[in-house]
Structure formats: C-alpha cells, structure tokens
Amino acid sequence: MTSEKMIFSLEFGKHSAAGEEKVRNEDSVGYFFPPEPEELKERGQIFMVADGHGDEEGDFASKLAIETMIKSYYDATWLGSIEDMLMVAFKKANSAIRDANSERDNENYFSCSLSAAVIHENLLYLAGIGSCAVFLFSSNKLERLNKVTPVSSNSSSPFSRIHESKSGEKLLPELGQQEDVEIAVHKRQIQIKDTVLICTGNVAQTIPEQDISLIISSSEPVQSCETIVNESVKVNPQQDASAILIRVKGIKRLAYEDKETELTTEEVETNESHERQIVIKGVRYRETWEDESLNGDDRESMDKFSLDRELHRRVYKRQTPVEKSGFPVHKLINFFIVLIILTLIGYAAITYIPGYLRDLKDPQRVQTITADSIREAESDESIAGEAVDSLETGSTDFIAEIPVDTLIESVASDSVISSTEEQPQFSVPVSYRVVIINGSRKQISLDSFIRDISSTSSTEQVSALISRYRIKTSKILWRKSSESAKLDNITGTIINYQNLFEKYFRTKVQAQPLDFTLVLGADFKMPSISDQYVKSGDASSDYYMEILNGSRVSGLARKLANQLHHQSFKENRLVIVDYRNADKLNYPNSFIKCESAKSDLARRMAGDFNLPDVIVSRQLYDIKVIIGTDIIAP
C-alpha cells in the first residue's frame, strides 16, 4: 500500500578553506540524502562538519569520521529511534579513529571534533563532540545550540566536558582520544524559513554572532557559507574554517510503500486451526469451510478466489444475465465531452493563430523562443548561437556574483535588429553578437533600450527575445573570447551596458564571464568528487561554467554545482556562475559546449572531474543582457 507523508524541502550550501598560513585543510564537510523514500521517512537527512587533527594528516581523521558516521547511521540495523542510531554511529566513528591510532602505535596521533545534525520531519536532532559549533537562525534571531563552556570535568553535557592533557592544559574531548565516548542527542522543533549553521570552532571564535546573523539573513546559503568561512580565515589565518548551512525552504510530499505486518507465531498457530491463508499479489485471502453452511454443489459453483478483499468473505458469482439499457447514456455523454473539447480547440485556433502568424511576418516584433521553434530553426541552418533555457523551479542564486537566467540555444534571423545610427566608441572596429532576454514578466517596452544598446558599440547583430520562464535576477554574461581585439574592448562595452541598464530600469546589474556550458542528459550519473578547494586568486585566470539540467532528475544541476563550485582545476578555480534547467528535459546524452579554442581544456576538465567527455564547439553570443523580475519598470 502506498502512503504519503509531508516532509521539509531543504536547500543548503557548504564551504571549506585552509588557513592562509597552512598548507593543508584538515576540515571536512559531509551530508547524505537517502535515495529511497522509505529510508528518508525513517532516518531523515544528515549534515556534518568535522575538524581533524593529526600532525600533518588531520584531514584523514575528519574524512574517516564522516564516512564512518554515514555508513553506520544508514546501514546499521534500525534501533527504534534516531537518538540511539546517532549514539551508535558516534561510537563507531570513535573506534575507527582509535584503530587508526593503533596502527601508528600512537594513541594520540589522530583526533577529530565532529558535530552532526539530522533533520527528520519537523525535528532537528543534534549531537557532537569537540569544538564544532551549531547555530539556529529562527524568527530573525540567532541561537547557539551547543554551548562549549569548559567549566569542569564533571559537566554532564558532552559539549562542555573537558579533559586534561599530559602537560596539564585543559582540552575539549574529541573522537579518538578515549576508548569510550558519551554523546547526548538534543532534539529541537524547526519550521519553514529556519536556518541551521554547522561550523568549526574557528568560525565561532572569530566572527561575532550579530555578524553571522546579518550574513545568514541577507544572502543565499552558498554565498553565506563562503562569506563566513573566508572572513574567519582572514581573522585567524592559522586555522582552517568550514561551514555547512541548511535552510528549510518549504514542504513536499513523500510517497512510500507501507510494509505488511507479519503475523506472530502465536497468531499463525491460532489461525491455522480454523482457516488457510492464501496471498495473491500482496492481498491476503482466507478459506474456511467448517463455518460455512453450504452443500457441496454450492461450493463447486463458487470461485474460491473471488473474495471480498475488505471483509474476507465469499462472494457468489452472478447467475442471471444483466439486462442492458436500451439507451446508451454513457455514449451520449462521451459524445458531448468530445464536442466540447473540439469547440475549445477551434476557439483557441481562431483566437491565437492569426496573431502568431503576424508575429512571424513582422520582423520588428519580439520573438518567443520554444524548444520546437529551436529545433525547426536548426534544421533550416538559419541560426547560430546558444540555447534559451529555463530557470530551475525553486532554485536560488548561487552568490551575488552568480547569475540565474535562461540560456540562448538559437535565435531566428527574424529577430535580428541592426543599427548603424552611431559609430562605435572604440578606435579598433570590434563586432559583437548581442542578445537581450526579457524574463521579467512585466509589460515594458524595449525599443529605446535596444536602440541605445545597438549604438554603444559596433555590433554584428542585436537580438531581442522573451523568455518563457520567469528570471529572478538581472545580469550580463560575456563570453571570454580568444580574440584579442574583443578582450581589449569588452570592458568598456560592458560598462556602457551596465549604465544603460541602470538608466532604463533603475537597477544595478552585475556582469560575469563564461567559458563552458555543461548540459546534463539522461545518461548522466553523479560523479564522486572530493573537496579540493583553492584560495581566491586572480579572477582572470579562473574558469567559469554554467550547468544545465537536461534530464528529468530533479535538482541534478544544483547538486553537481554544489560539488564543483570553487574546486581546484589546473592550479586555478572552477567557478560555477549558474545552474538551472535546460530548454528541454529529454536530452539523451550529456555534453560540454564551448568555443573551439577551448575544446582541449574542456576535455581535460571532464577527465579531472569525471564529467561527460563529449565536446561541442559552436558560435556563441558575445554578450547576453538578461532582464529579470528585480527591475523597476519604467
């Protein structure tokens, strides 16, 4: 039997960085989302932050603790409560680290602070040991849930219990230091819009709580984590910093299969004396002859398996023919339903098709791009460019510098607007391909804006499109071209476009570069990517990518973006500037799109991160001007 349950829908961000004076990051961040609805209903979702210690190999202890926790919590036999499962998982993680110390003949070589949070239904279960901190931001108030106060060794709280080192220095307890650990699990009710922050002790010590509250309330989870971690490393460069932030976004419906309750031995023995159990396709029947007052003929005339499924009683088959109605009422009803549907289709055709045909004939009208029109235009070989993609439902902006827009796959030549009213501003003639995408869902006129955009620089073509999907944030994306002339002049052009945008829509818009577009198809499998973050360096040497979900697996682009953002690639950073749905969700194969000069680089990146190695080279737009719902309509 299929049942349904309402659970919280979560969004999260994570970030980890080594101290500026350290060579190795000893922190680890871990989380697990059960793929099976039954497991999610029973055990919930877990999030963890670990701060490892071990001379130069502290990252081994933190990773070992998180991996052991996940395996123990989800693979072990269910003990009846989340509190018991968490305590067992912590003890196994402690044993794993102590075993590693035994192999090195040094019982104090590895140790680890660890805080874990499980979100199950509307409850937050919290357990931890060591210096890692946990905060709850609810109703615009920040509260620290695990008070680490080293007052005495007799404290009953696992967060405040301390021990003394050989030198007499008081230290917080950690996994791997003692043969047995005592872990207390705290339970707290949460609600929609609540935010949970799990971080290492360095973050809690260096950033005031009022600053943490301001950062969480003013930005999205990914941006909040990066800001908190980076600020902590700046204040205390001798320590690593890590954080994971979980925000309760809403409620979703979880469907799962109810397991049948098996009979106990006593019940089976009792039932077998009176009846015989028969199970067909998961439905339990029973057959009892002793209590029936039927003769043998009646028994033979019955279908033994034609039983009432609710009351488990026998049902006689109908012996007399059913008289059919002379007038087919159901056929008449079906006829009227079909007639109404045909009438609606005809009305829609008369109302909307003439306007659609006029749009096709009039080159000055703004064109609406759909997946079907894209495919037809590509077959005629009359277009070149990128694809228009949709905004992922429920997704949020990555960080302030990361845009969320729709991708241009192709633009029909009818939508091209050329302008030669003014001469280019640059001394060197540079030709740009520009597209303006209106995703604001507001009634605005773009004629003057398009004319001014066309006159600011020498443009090969300016195209105007209406997005089928709502775009949340306005932005400007520009392609990092291999042509030196464009690279020399793109800055001035982008500044002019930003000034025009603020003039017409009273909104400041940010500009971001773009190197690669990764489209995820039905064949894509989520790769295993270990965290290898790099420090912020020269932004011009970073590699910029957008990820588009072209499959029917919900949230695939967001999950991959969380793993790839700021990962190390060729001694630089891989920056994810956007993630969203593609223009269609039935791409059979995954691929990476870029200009031909970067094909080898894209193939190297695919190999390093186990990404699709199909590389597609085609002409892309030089500049995309995105109009979102954040504008103020003129």
Label residue 444 by pLDDT band (50, 70, 90).
Answer: confident
Q: What is the pLDDT of residue 36?
A: 86
More confident residue, 177 or 212: 212
Residues 231-248, mean pLDDT to the nearest whole number: 93
pLDDT at 515 over 50: yes
Q: What is the pLDDT of residue 252?
A: 79
Quick one: which of 526, 577, 593, 575 has its CA closest to 554? 526
Q: What is the pLDDT of residue 258?
A: 58
Burial of residue 157 (number of CB atoms within 10 Å: 0-12, 13-18, 19+)? middle
Q: How would you classify residue 602: left for phi > 0, otherwise alpha for psi between -120 and 50, otherwise beta?
A: alpha
HEC sequence for 274-335: CCEEEEECCEEEEECCCCCCCCHHHHHCCCCCCECCCCCCECCCCCCCCCCCCCCHHHHHHH
Q: What is the pLDDT of residue 163?
A: 41
Residues 596-611, mean pLDDT to the nearest whole number: 90
Return phi, psi of residue 436, to 5°: -115, 120
Quick one: which of 479, 611, 474, 622 has its CA closest to 547? 611
HEC sequence for 73-114: HHHCCCCCCHHHHHHHHHHHHHHHHHHHHHHCCCCCCCEEEE
pLDDT at 194 over 60: yes
pLDDT at 1 over 50: yes
Q: What is the pLDDT of residue 491?
A: 82
pLDDT at 17 over 60: yes
pLDDT exceeding 90 applies to what percent of the chain? 29
The CATH fold assigned to 2-256 is Phosphatase 2c; domain 1 (3.60.40)
Q: What is the pLDDT of residue 535?
A: 65
pLDDT at 103 over 70: yes
Q: How far apart are CA 495 and CA 497, in angstroms?
A: 5
Residues 139-149, mean pLDDT to the nearest whole number: 82
Q: How far apart are CA 530 and CA 533, in angstroms?
A: 9
pTM, two decimal places: 0.45
pLDDT exceeding 70 applies to what percent of the chain? 70
User: pLDDT per residue over 18-50, tens digit each?
Assistant: 888 888 889 999 999 888 888 888 899 999 999
Q: What is the mean pLDDT of the chain?
A: 75
Q: How far apart are CA 583 and CA 424, in angstroms?
A: 34
Return phi, psi of residue 405, to 5°: -145, -170
Q: What is the pLDDT of residue 63?
A: 92
- Whether residue 29 contacts residue 242, with contact meaning beta carbons closer than 8 Å, is answered with yes
Q: What is the pLDDT of residue 4?
A: 66
pLDDT at 359 over 80: no
Which one of 302-306, 353-357, 383-387, 575-579 scores highest in mean pLDDT?
575-579
User: pLDDT per residue over 249-280, tens digit each?
Assistant: 888 777 666 554 444 444 434 444 444 444 43
User: pLDDT per residue over 374-432, tens digit each?
Assistant: 344 444 433 333 333 333 333 333 333 333 333 333 333 333 333 333 444 444 467 78
More confident residue, 116 or 461: 116
Q: What is the pLDDT of residue 611?
A: 92
pLDDT at 322 over 60: no
Alpha helices in 410-531 (DSSP H): 447-455, 484-505
User: Which residues neighbour 419 within 8 Å (Cβ) at sequence distance 6 or greater?
Assistant: 451, 454, 455, 459, 462
Q: What is the pLDDT of residue 153?
A: 38
Label residue 331 by pLDDT band (50, 70, 90).
Answer: confident
Quick one: which of 199, 187, 82 has its CA closest to 135? 199
Residues 211-238, mean pLDDT to the nearest whole number: 92
Q: What is the pLDDT of residue 46?
A: 95
Residues 172-184, mean pLDDT to the nearest whole number: 86
Quick one: which of 614, 593, 588 has its CA closest to 545? 593
Q: What is the pLDDT of residue 290?
A: 42
pLDDT at 208 over 90: yes
Domain boundary assignment for the chain = 2-256, 276-318, 330-361, 413-627
Q: How far apart are CA 351 and CA 367, in angstroms?
A: 18
Q: CA–CA distance from 207 to each of 211, 215, 241 (Å)?
A: 7, 11, 11
User: pLDDT per residue over 478-491, tens digit each?
Assistant: 887 767 667 777 88
Mean pLDDT lowest for which of 68-72, 149-153, 448-452, 501-505? Answer: 149-153
Q: DSSP states of 350-411 as a string?
A: HHHHHHHHHHHH-TTSPEEP-HHHHHHHHHTT---S----PPPTT---SSTT----------
